[in-house]
Amino acid sequence: MGVRRGALIVLEGVDRAGKTTQCKRLVQALRDSGKEAEMMRFPDRTTMIGQLISSYLEKKSNLEDHTVHLLFSANRWEQVPLMKKKLEQGISLVVDRYAFSGVAFTSAKPGFSLEWCQNPDVGLPKPDLVMFLQVNPAEVAGRGGFGDERYETSVFQRAVQQKFEQLIKDPSVNWKVIDAARSIEDVHTEIKTLSENAINIAENQPIGELWK
Ligand SMILES: Nc1ncnc2c1ncn2[C@@H]1O[C@H](COP(=O)(O)OP(=O)(O)OP(=O)(O)O)[C@@H](O)[C@H]1O
Ligand SMILES: [Mg+2]
């Protein structure tokens, strides 16, 4: 028997839903229970492509909308060899945003279809589990204001939320909608249980291809 592969676990949701908080908690909990797990985040601002994206998000540069969409996708593809290697070594990956954010954000702009936005990400490693942290804007108002980065406005975030709702209807992806308005601890407990199940199931399955 070879090594059982790790699971690809993604957390999605609008700004301030608690993705980063929950990714960190999950990795720690999985490690505490003796499983190998690592966190990843997209965009990965550390690469050359990631630096272009970071400068765009910080409004230090302007990029044409199609171009920036393709850069976000390229920023995921450039990590695929590493992701596959880790999964095959038995390491589960807990990922803070993935292709779903990429599609939801660009398709929230005028003139972009969901399908056009999905195309560049077709064939990425398919998550074994995607948890959508569901909150409504009023509920997260107390979590602090928006930052100064591009996209951090309530009007745009509402449009993004609607695009996520369309993506969640796709039965080819293993979506779980999590009520993220609860305490950090309660949300964590549910995420941990779902993730442990996904890890057990993924062990015996090949890595899938997203939207293919
Ligand atoms: N369940 C919760 N209840 C109350 N506050 C929370 C909860 N989860 C996270 N927070 C707080 O809300 C803020 C945003 O959380 P976090 O950074 O994890 O969100 P995020 O989804 O990663 O946001 P972004 O999309 O901007 O990166 C943080 O200050 C965090 O401590
Ligand atoms: Mg975050």
Look up the CATH number of the domain holding residue 112: 3.40.50.300
* Closest C-alpha residue for ligand 1 atom 12: 143
Q: Name beta bridge partners: 9.
A: 94, 129
Q: Of all protein residues, whose CA lies closest to atom 8 belonging to ligand 1? A: 18
Q: How far, in Å, is the centroid of ligand 2 from the Cα of 2? A: 35
Q: Is the pLDDT of residue 92 over 90?
A: yes
- Outline where the chain has alpha helix (H): 19-32, 48-57, 65-77, 80-88, 99-107, 114-118, 137-140, 154-168, 184-202
Instruction: Give the total number of structural domains in the chain.
Output: 1
Q: How far is the CA of 16 from the centre of ligand 2 (A)?
A: 7
Q: Which atom of ligand 1 is nearest to the CA of 180?
A: 1
**60, part of any domain:** yes
Q: Which protein residues are within 6 Å of ligand 1, measured from CB?
A: 13, 15-21, 143-144, 183-184, 187
CB-based contact 21:96 (threshold 8 Å): no
Q: How far is CA 180 from the centre of its chain?
A: 15
Residue 28 lies in a domain: yes
Mean predicted lDDT score pLDDT of the chain:
96
Residue with tokens 């990956």: 93
Domain interval for residue 18:
8-202
Q: Which ligand is nearest to the CA of 134?
A: 1
Residue 1 pLDDT level (bands cut at 50, 70, 90): low
The whole-number pLDDT of residue 107 equals 98
Q: Is residue 210 part of a domain?
A: no
On whether residue 212 sits in a domain, the answer given is no
Nearest alpha carbon, ligand 1 atom 26: 15
1 domain-assigned: no
pLDDT value at residue 143: 86
The C-alpha atoms of residue 19 and residue 24 are separated, in whole angstroms, by 9
User: Is residue 3 assigned to a domain?
Assistant: no
Judged against a pLDDT cut of 70, whether residue 130 lies above it is answered with yes
Q: Give the model confidence (pLDDT) of 168-200 as tens digits.
A: 999 999 999 999 999 999 999 999 999 999 999
90 occurs within a structural domain: yes
pLDDT for residue 138? 73
Percent of the chain with pLDDT over 90: 90
Pairwise CA distance, residues 67 & 62, whole Å: 10
* Structural contact between residues 40 and 93, judged by C-beta atoms closer than 8 angstroms: yes
- Phi first, then psi, for residue 178 (nearest 5°) are -110, 130
pLDDT given for residue 71 in this prediction:
99
**Does any domain span residue 209?**
no
Residues with a beta carbon under 5 angstroms from ion ligand 2: 20
